[in-house]
Amino acid sequence: MILKQKHAPSLAKLPMLWLLISLAILLIVSMGIAVGVGSVAIDQATVWGVIAHKISLSSSLPNWSMGRENIIWAVRLPRVILAAIVGAALAMVGGALQSVTRNPLADPHLLGVSSGAALGAIIALLHTGMILGVATVPVFAFIGALVAIFCVLLVANFSVAHSAGRLILAGVAIAFILTALGNLFIFMGDHRASHTVIFWMLGGLGLAQWDQLWFPCLALLLGASYLIYKARFLNAMTLGDETASTLGVPVTRFRLMVIVVCALLTGAAVAFSGVIGFVGLMVPHITRLLVGGDYRKLLPLSGLLGALFLVIADIVARVIIPPQDMPIGILTGLVGGIAFVLLMRQKRHVSF
């Protein structure tokens, strides 16, 4: 069962448009702050001046150095945009999976997608080399994610696993197998280079580049559009398979379709950011506590909150141990775990 509220959520009665606009403004402001934060601090006037100049919104002559312009436009802004994309994707995937599996612990990494992506990244970093240039690791990671999806669906058909529980078990089994293969490739690879694999598996946004952002952005746009369009079906799935079927939902086909869409979204995110945990598990629960369980509200608001959370986490990761960047997966794991424990303590407001 997913989390259910005994009392009306505090923000449920507010207009949806107002909530979306407020969160979008807060996200944009946070992204501007994130671009200015780092080993070289840059004021907000310069940040927004560079952005306006680059997208031809301002015709005034630049009053900043080329070095700062490159820091803002070529390094930090793609990273911040990737953080928002990945956070939104993971949060929406977590919310959708919690519906179709009726499992409050469902998250984007449940079906072995992260293990498959990690295996692909390990092969690229330790065995093939950068044969595709800077795109090698994301491409191999995404191929690994696709292999994981294929294996899970193959096992599901082999075991006639039409139920949510058996699909989850298939995903867990494939995740163990792919993790074992990844460890084997690490053992067989150059141990001196294994630290690069470990850093990638801890999660990070250092691979962000303008010419590659289109892929996770397109995946988010298509995947999120499908999930939001099917929000009524997701609402029905939380009531159980029999009830959803009586309401006209093709339960088995819809569940498999959602799982494929969520796996593709997760693969696109993990391919560029590494393994970032707890965003997809924690954010949908917090959103559900604030606005209720209606997926017509839950999904878009979870996406915005997930993007906001990961952008703020990236800010903290860059300032907590300067001049080094802490792997963002460590930070989200710590914050997410503590927040989820506190969330679980609210027993008078939440039940399973």
Q: Where are the domains of the chain?
A: 4-36+81-351
The CATH number given to 4-36+81-351 is 1.10.3470.10
- Residue 135 has a pLDDT of 75
pTM of this prediction? 0.87
Per-residue confidence (pLDDT) for residue 296, from 0 to 100: 92
Q: Would you place residue 1 in the very low, low, confident or very high pLDDT band (cuts 50, 70, 90)?
A: very low
Give me the sign of the Cα torsion angle 343, 344, 350, 352.
positive
Does residue 163 have a pLDDT over 70?
A: no
127: DSSP letter: I
Q: What is the pLDDT of residue 326?
A: 83
Evaluate if residue 10 carries a pLDDT over 90.
Answer: no
**pLDDT confidence band for 159 (50 / 70 / 90):** low
Nearest to 90 by CA among 197, 203, 253: 203
Tell me, what's the pLDDT at 76? 92
Q: Which of 41-50, 72-81, 92-101, 193-202 shows the lowest mean pLDDT across its residues? A: 193-202
Q: What are 34-88's pLDDT values in tens digits?
A: 999 988 888 999 999 889 888 877 666 778 888 888 999 998 999 999 999 999 9
Q: What percent of the chain has pLDDT over 70?
A: 90
Please state, in angstroms and rounded to a whole number, the distance separating the CA atoms of residues 16 and 312: 23
pLDDT of residue 352: 43
Average pLDDT score over the chain: 84
pLDDT digits (tens, 9 = 90+) for 211-268: 889 989 999 999 999 999 999 999 999 888 888 889 888 988 898 888 888 888 888 8
Task: Say yes or no to pLDDT of 178 above 80.
Answer: yes
| Section 173-179 average pLDDT | 89
Beta strands in 160-268 (DSSP E): none
pLDDT of residue 252: 83
* pLDDT tens column, 281-311: 889 988 988 888 889 999 999 999 999 999 9
3-state secondary structure 52-113: HHHCCCCCCCCCCCHHHHHHHHHHHHHHHHHHHHHHHHHHHHHHHHHHHCCCCCCCCCCCCH
Closest Cα partner for 300 from 66, 52, 23, 38? Answer: 23
pLDDT band at 156 (very low <50, low <70, confident <90, very high): confident
